[in-house]
Structure 1
Amino acid sequence: MSPVKVKESHKGGNKNLQVFILAGQSNMAGNGGVHRQIESGVVTNLSWDGFVPKECKPNPKILRFNAAEKWEKAHEPLNYGIDCLRACGLGPGMAFANEILKKDPEFGVIGLVPCAKGGTPLHKWRRGSSPYDSLIRRAKFAVKNGGNIRALFWYHGESDGKSKNTSSLYKKNLDNFFQDLRSDLHAPTLPIFEVIIPYPKEPFVGPYIEEVRAAQLGINISNVIKIDAEGLELGSDGLHLTTPAQHYTKFRTLVYVAPSETCF
């Protein structure tokens, strides 16, 4: 999908730009509407159905920081070019931004900075590793000409639920990630929306998901807002949220409305 150009005024700097970092794994990258062709247990083809619900439609006051580190008008799929090139689908970012503007039309121009990397275990999100260093670089560059980093929206954990070792270290690694992120962005009280991953279904195998969920729920850091995604509809792979789940009213109310009263 070709990028949509932004007016020069946005490129030159915007002190009213409200920046949100979108990071984590494939559910943040977006898999809503992605169909998988499986042969002998192996995914052989991916395709996105192209359906964009009204909650995720483009808005002139919502921008995306693309793979070339330029601002453009935001549109689905948000994470295209950042991680997935073949078949990105819908994630929660556009519904998130649209809901903020629906609640507060004077909030300002929202800048979404997608940084999700599908399948990356948490130990990869540390200083000196590509996903982490890329996130910090993109976030800083996004506000180089003006704007404020308002929050991190984080959805991660499924791959660490496959292993006893990674699940046992999850709480420590997550605590370090949140603390390092705030330190490196010079934002010690940066609000963090932490999605608590739902229990997967067959055919996905994650025997230690319970341990990962417990670690996520056990994080005791100020201004971290925990959002439990349990109960949201999962696709046929038993792992990824469907398009309806990405903009489900209950989920949007929990994630996109209630926290804003205390964080923004």
Structure 2
Amino acid sequence: MGGGMFFLVCLMLLAHSSILVRPKKLNDNSLEGKNIFILAGQSNMAGRGSLVPMPSECQRNPRILRLNAKLTWEEAQEPLHQDIDIHKTCGIGPGMAFANSILERDSARVGVIGLVPCAVGATNITAWQRGGFLFNQLVERAQAALRDGGRIRGILWYQGESNTDNLENVKGYKGKLETFFKDIRSDLKLPQLPIIQVALASGQNATYTEMVRKAQLEIKLPNVTCIDAKGLQIQSDKLHLTTEAEVRLGKMLAGAALKIMEHI
């Protein structure tokens, strides 16, 4: 075989191999019918649980998608926040266990789930107020998630540990949290958007943690549900949930979401 012919054959083989390894394109129908959930808050939502061994409840599923940092959909896998909470090492959070649990309980009705990671570790409630980077990023990502169709079914919110370090950070927490919920609904033009918030399992100061928890549990806004994480297992750092606890929380959030979806 001559040198030119050999080179041509090599090019053909290379082109053929690139086709074989090309990522599978997401089905347009799955994008149009997806049920979208926004994951927001700080580190216990972003996830700090160990990735090894990977819990069965957190395994990949082609019917669970993730909006990545480039605002495109891809098949979801842990860690969900790896390109969002970029200044920390992310691990298992509640997101994949949440989505897998919903599909396990009601796959026929739910179909495809789209997860939109927005949580960033060590963020005070003040950092989530309208006009700030985190608020604007959440709105941008939520709007991008709708471009291919689908419906935002709710926000999963777990934040507050950063407000438990001193009394000043506790003062006004309830008001700021309510304002955030109202403003995010307003900017997304979804006045009845369900919000499932998590009452703290841990904090930096026991007294202030209980004060933040009290504020969270007393929120009485329409379509705001509170899941109490108190009692879930905490890592040795006394702040972050263990992998097992994150999985448990994901299932708790799924139960709340399914109840809400029955009525909307």
Look up the equivalent residue of 2:44 and give its one-letter code: N
Of the three residues 90, 115, 121, the one matched with 1:88 is 90
Residues 79-118 of structure 1, C-alpha deviations (whole Å, 9 max, x = no match): 0010135521000000000011011112121000000010
Which SS does the other structure have where 1:20 is aligned?
strand
The answer to whether 1:233 aligns with 2:236 is no
Change (3 A) 1:214 1:141: same
The answer to whether 1:261 aligns with 2:263 is no
Residues 157-207 of structure 1, C-alpha deviations (whole Å, 9 max, x = no match): 00101121121111000000000011111111111111000144xxx4454
The answer to whether 1:7 aligns with 2:7 is no
Taking the aligned partners of 2:40 and 2:188, their CA distance within structure 1 comes to: 15
Taking the aligned partners of 2:165 and 2:254, their CA distance within structure 1 comes to: 29
Quote how far apart the aligned CAs of 1:128 are: 1.2
Q: Where does structure 1 lack aligned partners over 5 or more consecutive residues?
A: 34-48
TM-score by length of 2: 0.86
Look up the equivalent residue of 2:208 and give its one-letter code: Y
Larger relative helix fraction: 2
Partner in structure 2 of residue 153 of structure 1? 156
The two structures, once aligned, show a CA RMSD in angstroms of 1.8
Partner in structure 2 of residue 59 of structure 1? 61
Identity of counterpart residues, as a percentage?
Answer: 46
Taking the aligned partners of 1:114 and 1:157, their CA distance within structure 2 comes to: 17
Which SS does the other structure have where 2:154 is aligned?
strand
Taking the aligned partners of 1:5 and 1:195, their CA distance within structure 2 comes to: 36
Q: Where does structure 2 lack aligned partners over 5 or more consecutive residues?
A: 1-21
**Aligned residues, how many?**
240
Taking the aligned partners of 2:183 and 2:158, their CA distance within structure 1 comes to: 17
Partner in structure 2 of residue 19 of structure 1? 36
Which SS does the other structure have where 2:116 is aligned?
strand
Change (3 A) 1:205 1:143: same
Change (3 A) 1:82 1:181: same
Taking the aligned partners of 2:179 and 2:231, their CA distance within structure 1 comes to: 28
TM-score by length of 1: 0.86
Question: Quick check: 252-261 or 86-95, which moved more?
Answer: 252-261
Which SS does the other structure have where 2:37 is aligned?
strand
Which SS does the other structure have where 2:198 is aligned?
strand
Larger Rg over CA atoms: 2
Partner in structure 2 of residue 44 of structure 1? none
Larger relative strand fraction: 1
Of the three residues 78, 81, 94, the one matched with 1:79 is 81
Taking the aligned partners of 1:241 and 1:208, their CA distance within structure 2 comes to: 19
